[in-house]
Structure 1
Amino acid sequence: MDFTLPESALAVRDGIAAVTAKYGYDYWDRCDSEHRWPEEVYRDLAEGGWLGLAIPEEYGGGGQGLLELAVALESLAGSGAGAAASFIYLLSPGFGGLTIMRHGTEEQKRRFLPGLASGEIETCFALTEPDAGSNAINIATHARRDGDGWLVKGQKIWISGVERADHMLLVTRTTPAAEAKPRANGFTVFVVDVKAAVEAGTLTYQPIPKMGTNTVASSMVFLDDLRVTDEDVLGTVDGGFAVLWDILNPERILASASGVGGAEAALKVAVSYAIDRAPFGKPIGANQAIAFPLAKIKAQTELARLMTYKAAWLWDRGEPCGSEANIAKLTASEAAWQAADRTFQTHGGMAYSLEYPVARMFRDARIGKNIPVAEELVLAHIAQHDLGLPKSY
């Protein structure tokens, strides 16, 4: 058993650190307050080849795996971006790159992967619906046969990055849940040309005002007889559940990496303040009431990092990783939230001042306990699948 990161992952960590060295906490604060995508960082990552890490070399990528992608995201988040970093690696390298790499036809790989590797193509992912929420089995967005193609009708919610995306990985029902046997059958994933659909008026979207993570918009999406073809199917018709799990598990692993990095970023802010602040003649960090909670969060962060790496390593090997991905997500999101909360408390009343990045990190870290899957559902999965307890939902 060797816990040493491979040279490829260490090189990624150092490379991302070099890219982000000129972008501090203030940069991410500005992007968030201005509700704008971090174009400068994204461009630098694209030019350095850091977005195509997990895409095979024959398609212009780095030929690495999800582990290296997770390390990249962790390093980016830890540089001060926090949860805002997750979208840079989730939307296109994760949703688009990993999924098309594993489930795309050769034509789809050659069509999409080089552009995803270079940053010229951006993707988003559309699963969640207003009336289905975390219960993906009950999604109502339906694709029906129409001549040599399909017409899609339905709604999606909390779709991040659609305003930037060239293509969307769209999860539909091609067989209604009531008719599918088992009910997990009947899903089909399509790769949708977003800009063409917007121009045709068959895809519209409306951004949702959000509490945080304002570097990217999250939108309601409306699909009104959106036309797709058999060439747009990712995987097989009615066999999209296998594709879906190869989206959801990496999503949870990358979200975990973001949580680990976000926890580290918050701890850096808290520790710096605890060393500099000395209202009673000595640094407040010398007090155990300040030091011990921060030390405990550091321990939690290290545990979450180990599980994140393990889950990514299993996925790269093609082994089952559902439990590990869930545990990583649970522990990392909790570490990120506790770190942000304790950073807030360490700053006292000054945490309320936008002079510090505490407010942004506090807002952004909280959503990690709910997305990409609520911690209650993670606990239900662990109880059922790892402990053998009866299903609770």
Structure 2
Amino acid sequence: MDFELTDTARAVRDGVAAVAAKYDNAYWSRCEEEHRFPQEAYDDLAAGGWLGLAVPEEYGGGGQGMLELAVANETLCASGGTAGSFFYVTTPGFGSMTVVRHGTEEQKARILPGLATGQSQFCLALTEPDAGSNAIEITTSARRDGDDFLIRGQKVWISNVERAEWMVAVTRTIPAGDAKPRTAGFTLFLVDVKEALAAGTLSYTPIPKMGSNILYSSQVFFDDVRVPAANVIGEVDQGFAVLWDVLNPERILAAAGGVGSAQAALDVAVSYARERRVFGRPIGSNQAIQFPLAQIKAKTELGRLMTYKAAWLFDQGKPCGNEANIAKLTGAQVAWEAANQAFQTLGGMAYSKEYPVERMFRDARIGKNIPVAEELVLAHIGTQILGLPKSY
């Protein structure tokens, strides 16, 4: 599938694949089993510059765009590191793209060099216990205190806070009930996580979960976290447009991770179907096994193309919300279908930790719910693309 990629994107794919080849399925399964961050893989990716792809060259990065990031994330996940998508979304996605596109010159100089080398990591604090897909209803507040702001509230399902140096915190500086229009009053901040933790104003509690345990997902509590006004991303009260420019990259990278995860599960299933013999022939010769895998292959290719289209539009500065949502929908669906079919192909052996399918199965399921629920994507397609009336 080289025809749709630039020479640079192909070089990224080959470079990340060379690093990923050092870390087999057994490595990723061990990290998951031990609830351990894949530090070795992360360090190798950082050393090769693959985590700083989207950082401009003047700050030590690769100067590339969303397409190259998507290719990198897809390649990593296709190697078997299906949960590895999380640190690509958090640091290059939330971090590099947000600061590059919306940061001040001072913010860029302060933050981007660390992202380029992989020394700094990011997290995004948006979701709240009572405001998930309905992000417009968040209540975490930020109020002025001299030259600073004080953030108070609670977030949930925040990935990577335990490793992050920086957090993109989404707050309301005008309460939802007072905002006109409803999208007014959002302000995004760069929060120094280590500083806030040391001050005791920021705390987090990991949430036990069924998969993707290479990173914590946590409840996060803000108790008057002090943030300088110089750390506002964009403009006070005008952060909703910036937020969408954070969420579209998240969807695109999630789609890329889904496509890569689908390929990883498909590779395991196909290999097993070639080798496993029942009634004197490989089970892959049976159409009941072969045809579903062929369907997965077709859907994977389509998901890949839509992901690349959304990434290309983003890089061109063109509207990409529709494409990003469709890519996320298809990437998540094919990741789940591939893992499910791999499970069926391996039969009882899929239940064994001898094979990576049980891990892929657990990792893939959450993609249908995050970073945006499948039903909300379908509602977006129905109302924004098809022009149907809203149901909410």
1:60 aligns with 2:35: no
C-alpha distance in 1 between matches for 2:328 and 2:166 = 27
Unmatched tracts of structure 2, length 5 or more:
none
Alignment correspondent of 1:122: 121
C-alpha displacement of 1:328: 0.3
Between Structure 1 and Structure 2, how many residues are aligned? 391
1:254 aligns with 2:240: no
C-alpha displacement of 1:392: 1.4
1:77 aligns with 2:77: yes
CA offsets, 1:93-120, max 9 Å, x none?
A: 1101000000000000010111101001
C-alpha distance in 1 between matches for 2:3 and 2:10 = 13
Alignment correspondent of 2:23: 23
C-alpha distance in 1 between matches for 2:383 and 2:275 = 47
C-alpha displacement of 1:150: 1.1
Secondary structure (helix, strand or coil) at the match of 1:376 reads helix
C-alpha distance in 1 between matches for 2:385 and 2:4 = 27
Alignment correspondent of 1:333: 332
C-alpha distance in 2 between matches for 1:326 and 1:128 = 18
TM-score (structure 2 length as normaliser) = 0.99
C-alpha distance in 2 between matches for 1:273 and 1:313 = 36
- The letter for the 2-side match of 1:339 is A
Matches within 5 A, 1:350-369: 350-369=349-368
C-alpha distance in 1 between matches for 2:391 and 2:324 = 20
C-alpha displacement of 1:3: 5.0
CA offsets, 1:345-381, max 9 Å, x none?
A: 0001111111000100000000000000000000000
CA offsets, 1:10-57, max 9 Å, x none?
A: 000100111111110000000000001100010001101111111111
Alignment correspondent of 2:44: 44
C-alpha distance in 1 between matches for 2:173 and 2:228 = 13
- The letter for the 1-side match of 2:123 is C
C-alpha distance in 1 between matches for 2:278 and 2:372 = 42
C-alpha distance in 1 between matches for 2:108 and 2:391 = 40
- The letter for the 1-side match of 2:340 is D
- The letter for the 1-side match of 2:52 is G
Matches within 5 A, 1:301-316: 301-316=300-315
Q: CA RMSD in A?
A: 0.9
Q: Which runs of 4+ in 1 moved over 4 A?
A: none
- The letter for the 2-side match of 1:61 is G
Alignment correspondent of 2:322: 323
C-alpha distance in 1 between matches for 2:159 and 2:91 = 11
CA offsets, 1:256-310, max 9 Å, x none?
A: 0000000000000000000110021100000000000000010001010000000
Alignment correspondent of 2:32: 32
Alignment correspondent of 1:13: 13
Alignment correspondent of 2:227: 228
C-alpha displacement of 1:4: 2.5
Report sequence identity in percent.
Answer: 70
Alignment correspondent of 1:95: 94
C-alpha displacement of 1:88: 2.0
Secondary structure (helix, strand or coil) at the match of 2:80 reads helix
C-alpha distance in 2 between matches for 1:296 and 1:93 = 32
CA offsets, 1:115-138, max 9 Å, x none?
A: 101001111000000011111100
- The letter for the 2-side match of 1:316 is D
Alignment correspondent of 1:209: 208
C-alpha displacement of 1:177: 1.1
